Chain A
C-alpha cells in the first residue's frame, strides 16, 4: 500500500523559496503514475499546483507556472516542490499525492506559513 509523507520547513520568509519533499513508500515512483502537489489555504478550498510523470514530464497550474518547479528523484523514491517568491497568500497546507485517472492518494499534508 503506497504511503506519502511531506517534509520541509514550516515557516518561510516572504520573497524566499518554499521547498518541500514527498517521500514515497510501498511503491516505486519509476514504475508509473503521476505525482503531484495540491495546497489548501487555511479555511479555503483545494488548489492543484502541478504534477510530474515518472519519466520527468511536468505539468503546472497556469496561475502558478512562473514560480513552480517539481522534480523527481527516483533513486531516493521521492519528489519535490519549489515555489519561488512566496507571499502570505502562499500560506497553506501542502499535500503531495499520487495521481491516477480514477483517484488521488494523498499524504497527510504539511502546513507552511509565510511570514517574516
Chain B
C-alpha cells in the first residue's frame, strides 16, 4: 500500500501570504496525484489533478507541482476563504486510491 505523508500538519499564515503544502509518497506515484480542499461540514472539493492541472473553476492562485514521490500545493496569495484542510490523494494503482492525513491551514 502506498502511504502519503503530508507536512506540515498545521500551517499558520495570514491573508495575502504564500502557502506551501507538501505531500510525500512512500513510493513513486508518477504524476497521479490530486489535491482536495475541505471546509467544515462539507465534502472535499477537487483543486488539482495529475499533479499540476487545475480543476474547472479553481482560481489561478492554486498551483501544483511535483512527480514521483514529492509534490507541492502552492497558494500564491491567501484569501480568507482558503483557510481549510487540504488532502492529497494518489491513484497510481487505480482503482485503489489512498489519501494523505491532511494539512490544516489556519489563520495566524
Contacts and interface: CB of A to CB of B under 8 A. Distances in A.
Chain A interface bracket (under 10, 10 to 19, 20 to 34, 35 or more): 20 to 34
B95 A45 contact: no
A113 B43 CA distance: 18
B95 A102 contact: no
Contacts of B60: none
Contacts, number: 46
Interface string A30-56: 000010100000000111100101000
Range, interface on chain B: 20 to 34
B60 to A, nearest CB: 19
Interface stretch (A15-23, A72-80, A81-89, A103-111): A103-111
A48 B89 CA distance: 10
Interface stretch (B21-29, B73-81, B99-107): B99-107
Interface of A: 34, 36, 45-48, 51, 53, 59, 61-62, 95, 99, 101-104, 106-109
Interface of B: 1, 32, 34, 36, 43-44, 46, 49-50, 53, 55, 87, 89, 91, 94-102
